[in-house]
Amino acid sequence: MTPAATIRARVLAAIAADRAPGFSFTGHLLDTTWPHIGRDDVRVRIPFGAHCDDGSGAMEITALLMTLDAALGTATRLFIVPGERIATAQLYAQFTGAPLTGDLEVATAFTGMTQGDAVGQMLSRGTASMNGVPVCHGNASFVRLPPPPGARALAPLPWQSAEQSAAAPDPAQLDAREAQILAHCDAVLAGAWQERGFLRSFWGIDPAPHADGAVGRAALGPHMANRVGHVQGGILLGLAVHAAKAAAPRHPVLSNLSAWFISPGRGPFLEARATPLHSGRSFAVVKTEVTGEGGVRVLEAVTAHASAA
């Protein structure tokens, strides 16, 4: 099959898998699997393929961040009530500089609970590797939240997928939500998506530099949503990182990321606005704010970027 046909087949397979309660379409799109579930540790894997190629033969960084966020969250799910909802509160990622080539595997472990705060945050840490080489170390905190009214069914655990369909659905028999996802996929594949990769085009991540930094706006839809209808956390991180990279063109190597999730990603669009705080000979530091409709703050991120060797 051509790359476009392979990608369309992956989107249809993700739509089929999304019909069973559990993981969301965005996770199924990456063909996420869980090769190990331990008492307090997990391994999460996604294969490299045409759908997550960033256009240069490397994995799109948003796919890595989505999987890191999901894997860190999965480690905490071992210690909650089945079917309970969790949300990322804060995430830190330190990149090693190793190339993002090959299949991705993220090993994470639950590290405990915070004490003395009213909410109670669940903590986890992990390492993402490609070809057996660490590419990123991360840690995160998560909070328990009730599902919003009208949310789609949440499975007891995201890796329990026994009822998941293995057959791609007939495109003529999709519901309205599924048809919207496939129509958006077809529109992207009919355009010029190859240079920046399918995922960035699919999610509309296309920030542009300007005199004071960079800004990008992404139209939202079910192709970006988790099971409660909010933008998946890793996509928020990808929006922020790409905007920050556009604001620091002389420092192309992403060194680290600190992000705080403030409110759900929802509405007709999200805007990522990146402002350099420092731009030196070797390093740059960028602050990025992701906002939704009415200027509601969704995510705050600070990234460090290094000049190339």
Does residue 58 contact residue 101 with C-beta atoms inside 8 Å?
A: yes
Q: How far apart are CA 215 and CA 195, in angstroms?
A: 20
Answer yes or no: do 36 and 161 share one domain: yes
pTM for this structure? 0.93
Answer yes or no: do 11 and 112 share one domain: yes
Answer yes or no: do 129 and 31 share one domain: yes
Answer yes or no: do 16 and 120 share one domain: yes
Q: How far apart are CA 245 and CA 31, in angstroms?
A: 27
The predicted pLDDT at position 67 comes to 97
The predicted pLDDT at position 148 comes to 65
Q: How far apart are CA 302 and CA 248, in angstroms?
A: 12
The predicted pLDDT at position 154 comes to 58
Answer yes or no: do 144 and 223 share one domain: no
Q: How far apart are CA 223 and CA 100, in angstroms?
A: 24
**Residue 139 CB: number of other CB atoms within 10 A?**
16
Answer yes or no: do 212 and 137 share one domain: no
CATH of the domain at 266: 3.10.129.10
Number of compact structural domains in the chain: 2
Q: Which amino acid is at 179?
A: A
Answer yes or no: do 251 and 144 share one domain: no
Domain span at residue 265 reads 206-309
Q: How far apart are CA 289 and CA 285, in angstroms?
A: 14
Q: How far apart are CA 305 and CA 284, in angstroms?
A: 5
Q: How far apart are CA 278 and CA 11, in angstroms?
A: 40
Q: What angle do CA 285, 128, 274 make, to 5 degrees?
A: 25
Q: How far apart are CA 182 and CA 171, in angstroms?
A: 8
Per-residue confidence of the chain (309 residues) as pLDDT tens digits? 899 999 999 999 999 988 887 788 999 999 999 999 999 999 999 999 999 999 999 999 999 999 999 999 999 988 887 667 889 999 999 999 999 999 999 999 999 999 988 888 999 999 999 999 999 999 999 998 876 666 555 554 545 544 555 567 888 789 999 999 999 999 999 999 999 999 999 999 999 999 899 999 999 999 999 888 899 999 999 999 999 999 999 999 999 999 999 999 988 999 999 999 999 999 999 999 999 988 999 999 999 999 998
Q: How far apart are CA 231 and CA 157, in angstroms?
A: 20
